[in-house]
Amino acid sequence: MRVHAAVYARGLHRHSTYRAALVAGALTNSVFGAINAMVLLAVFAARPRISGYDAGDAVTQVFVGQALIAVTLIVNTAPSLDLAERVRTGDVATDLLRPVSLLGWWLAQDLGRATFTFFFRGVPTFCVGLLLFDVVLPGGPVHAVLVLASFALAAVVGFALRYLYSLSGFWLLDTRGLWTVAGLVGPVVSGMLLPLALFPSVLADVLRLLPWASMVQIPAEILLGKDTLPGGSVFGALLLQAAWAAALLALGAWATGRATRKVVIQGG
């Protein structure tokens, strides 16, 4: 555990170096948030209520999505976990020599990164949303803790998916196609492009149950306290997120075992 804490801290520290990129990223997320929010405001001006959502709900979801973009890296069409490149170059051999599991090492490092970007890029983006639009805030300290827990689970699900994409490099020669597909499909099915509430309800109900929704739609609905949540309550929703996180991490651990039995490291 101490190793993981140290790796987590290094991951956090490492990303504090790129300050200009942080400001640029928060600016871009805010601009996209504002554009999406204004389109949705125009829609809700014509129809004030769509499947239980009003204008404030939609705008809030937009800024939850933008604040979590850098945490879950859901829109990246290029490999967004260094592990992917290390599998391609063979540097992963060094990672495999370490006396800690590959999954645990990268999870700790990536959560460090996610924590840092959440507070220094996600929170400022959300604040821009608060300044410009009627964004909904948690109802009290307990609600706020539940929302933060949901965001943390979103970060784990985001990592677990990217870990699986990276490991696919052990079987595919060129994983760029897979990353592109993931980065293009993810925002649509997660509720980032449009809140799932605007989709046809059958489609929305199916998408809510997939892991991608756990990175935008579910956290947003937890913040908004919607009864469309899986299980009808915040706890049901958190359980769904936790279940996806656990299932995807387990799949990652299993795939790591398969990959390490398969890998042949050249030279010495």
Residues that bind other proteins in the complex, under the rule CB under 8 A: 18-21, 23-25, 27-28, 30-32, 35-36, 38-39, 42-43, 45-47, 50, 174, 176-178, 180-181, 184-185, 188, 193-194, 198-199
Which residues have a Cβ under 8 Å from the Cβ of 174 and sit 6 or more positions away? none
DSSP assignments along 108-148, one per residue: HHHHHHHHHHIIIIIHHHHHHHHHHS-----SSHHHHHHHH
Burial 95-113 (b: 16+ CB within 10 A, else e): beeeeeebbbbbbbbbbbb
**What is d(CA 223, CA 46) in angstroms, rounded to the nearest whole number?**
25
Are 7 and 112 in contact, with CB atoms under 8 Å apart?
yes
Please give the Cα distance from 126 to 120 (Å, whole number): 11
Q: How far is CA 225 from CA 158, 174, 179, 200, 210, in A?
A: 22, 42, 33, 21, 20
Tell me how many degrees the CA angle 96-115-219 measures, rounded to the nearest 5: 110
Tokens 């928060």 belong to which residue? 26
231: left (phi over 0), alpha (psi -120 to 50) or beta: left
Distance separating alpha carbons of residues 53 and 208, to the nearest angstrom: 15
Work out the burial of residue 43: count CB atoms within 10 Å of its CB; fewer than 13 is exposed, 13-18 middle, 19 or more buried: middle
